Amino acid sequence: MKKLFTIIALFGALSLAGLTAHAQDKPTEKPVATAPAASAAAAPAAAPATQTAAPAPTPNKGDVSWMLTSTALVLMMSVPALALFYGGMVRSKNMLSMLMQVFVVFSLVSVLWCVYGYSLAFTEGNAFIGGFDRLFLNGTFDAMKGEFAMAATFSKATPIPELVFVAFQATFAAITCCLILGAFAERAKFSAVLIFMVLWFTFAYAPIAHMVWFWPGPDAYTAANVVDATNAKAGLLWQWGALDFAGGTVVHINAGIAGIVGAYLIGKRVGYGKEAMSPHNLTMTMIGAALLWTGWFGFNAGSALEAGNSAALAFMNTYLATACAVLSWMFGEWLFKGKPSMLGAASGAVAGLVAITPAAGNVGIPGAFVIGIAAGLVCLWGVNGLKKMLGADDSLDVFGVHAVGGVLGALLTGVFNAQSLGGPGLVTDWVTGKVASNPIIDQVWIQAQAVGVTIIWSGIVAFIAYKIADLLVGLRVSEEEEREGLDVSSHGETAYHL
Amino acid sequence: MKLVTAIIKPFKLDEVREALSAIGVTGITVTEVKGFGRQKGHTELYRGAEYVVDFLPKVKIEAAIKSEMLDQVIEAIEKSANTGKIGDGKIFVFELEQVIRIRTGETGAEAL
């Protein structure tokens, strides 16, 4: 434990040092004259509206309301939804440890996000990682002038307060880390989990989010002659043209890979394959799945960053694909396994939600049907045939549902984005806002490359992060503690006194 | 005196209790138990994991009775707990040496 506290103290000290250094840098921040109302992160606050010729557009209250609502919805997806979904699937002796890990990891990552995560992910740096302009959210709110920095959306001159964007993205970072927890449930040491999360969040989540989502915003594209220079400021995968509406790569593949690496390195649960490890309360799992579905409207439709057409499309697709996946998983299970199960229906819902995530605002209704139906069947295979082939004890199927569903969704996004298949196409010219479709083969190839980069990056970072946590405190609890249950042995509490 | 122990299907408990009351049995003790017999268990499937549930839930009832009531009691339980399907349970009969009512100190048949 001492080691853990030393590490935490070290991180704190580094962060503070960073803040001090940054405070001195601030006056040298260059204003981005071409983007008066700012952009996702290209030094938004550095260009006070008064210094530019055109008055800065004020945020639309509808957009802001929707984004605040979406942010709260995504928080609901983790605490309580994911915690209950996972908690119901573990044995009763590990219920509190599951709830506790989700609750604490969510909080931990949210804090790190505000300290340095947001800055690394969403400020201008290189193609792989951002800079330190926004340490401790510095510059998002000027208390003396009472001015709020603005962040870009996907429409020109349509900003939202940057703090809303920070909070919205914070919930994404936090839930992504929480997703991983299911892979090594019921045996991981709590301190090791925290160390791993700090490392993985810093070196995998932040860079991947930067690579996929960081771009200077539509207002930066003022004329044809700045397009190349502006593109060059964006993240690597954005530059490649990868489509990821709400986090197929950043959230689900990223977490799923970290999960399976963890399941291998931490090892199987004591008695795995010999003793029954039935879920202790599928009622809670169903409540969790239902809340996930509800919260996911914030996750997907909120990723439009505006309360408009794109949000409407993402909302409907999220609704429809999920229902399709519930049915396809259930019928698949009924056909191949004999009975349609509640856990199957709930798992199908999550599989559908995962797969539609990268596609949400990037495909049309035909895409939602196909992606939803495919997700239910492919993820059913992911937790059966594929799981047996992999041979790891991925306790709650983080890989089988999130990585498999994420890859499926990412690839099919490349197919169904095409206008010929009912998709909205993509903006090919941000100066004029011209929309067109890429040839399907080309777009799928781009999507596959983005998937590949995420798998390799997340896998390597996760491997190293687990090894470091193992060296510092050891990855798993003793066999005796595991048999007793983590609730009592790690947290000194019992979930149920019946 | 005899002690009759019967293992029955849980949903038959009320019928058995009524049948025993009707023939004058004044009290029984009921316990929820698990076990296996010829009925065997069932399998449960959670995503890819299949578990065999060997022990099925049953109800155990115990009744202390006068020896002359034994045939009636056995008949009452047999009839009321019978579904004709496998897993209906069993009746065990024991000799009962002594009974004492704690409140009054009565012993033997008086205490039943």
> A154 and A304 in contact (C-beta within 8 Å)?
yes
Query: So what's the pLDDT on residue B7?
Result: 97
Tell me how far apart the alpha carbons of residues A57 and A55 are, in angstroms, rounded to a whole number. 6
Query: Mutation test of the interface with chain A: which of B47, B51, B54, B55, choosing the one with the most A Cβ atoms within 10 A?
Result: B47
CA dihedral A97, A100, A106, A110 (to 10 degrees): -130
| Side-chain half-sphere exposure of A242, counting CA atoms within 13 A | 34
Cα dist. A296→A93, A121, A174, A360 in Å?
Answer: 29, 22, 14, 11
Residue of A nearest to B52 (CA): A276
Task: Give the Cβ contact number of residue A281 at 10 Å.
Answer: 18
| Tokens, residue A412 | 């099919």
User: Each residue of A366-406: pLDDT tens digit?
Assistant: 999 999 999 999 999 999 999 999 999 999 999 999 999 99
Query: What DSSP element (H or E) covers B45?
Result: strand B42-46
Q: How close is the nearest chain A Cα to the Cα of B46, in Å?
A: 7
Residue A49 has pLDDT above 50, yes or no: no
pLDDT tier at A241, thresholds 50, 70, 90:
very high
Residue A238 has pLDDT above 60, yes or no: yes
Question: For all residues of chain A together, what is the average pLDDT?
Answer: 91
Which 8-state DSSP code applies to residue A248? I
Residue A120 has pLDDT above 60, yes or no: yes
Query: So what's the pLDDT on residue A8?
Result: 52
Tell me how far apart the alpha carbons of residues A423 and A419 are, in angstroms, rounded to a whole number. 5
How many residues are there in chain A? Answer: 498
> A106 and A78 in contact (C-beta within 8 Å)?
yes
Query: Mutation test of the interface with chain B: which of A336, A337, A396, A398, choosing the one with the most B Cβ atoms within 10 A?
Result: A337
- Residue A496: CB partners within 8 Å, gap ≥ 6? A92, A95
User: Each residue of B48-72: pLDDT tens digit?
Assistant: 888 888 899 999 999 999 999 999 9
Residue of B nearest to A329 (CA): B47
Alpha helices by DSSP H, listed for A419-495, are: 440-473, 479-484, 486-491
Burial B14-48 (b: 16+ CB within 10 A, else e): ebbbebbeeeebeebeeeeeeeeeeeeeeeebbbb
Tell me how far apart the alpha carbons of residues B61 and A235 are, in angstroms, rounded to a whole number. 72
- Residue A28: CB partners within 8 Å, gap ≥ 6? none
| CA-wise closest residue to B75 among B58, B89, B91, B59 | B91
| B43 has a chain A CB within 8 A of its CB | no
Higher pLDDT, A5 or A343: A343
Nearest to B45 among A277, A337, A388 (CB): A337
| Mean predicted confidence (pLDDT) in A465-476 | 98
ipTM of the complex: 0.74
> A476 and A266 in contact (C-beta within 8 Å)?
yes
| Mean predicted confidence (pLDDT) in A113-141 | 96
| Mean predicted confidence (pLDDT) in A455-462 | 98
Cα A238 from chain centroid?
16
Nearest to A397 among B44, B45, B47 (CB): B47
CA dihedral A125, A130, A133, A136 (to 10 degrees): -170
| Mean predicted confidence (pLDDT) in A410-421 | 97
Query: So what's the pLDDT on residue A54?
Result: 62
CB contact under 8 A, A338 and B45: yes
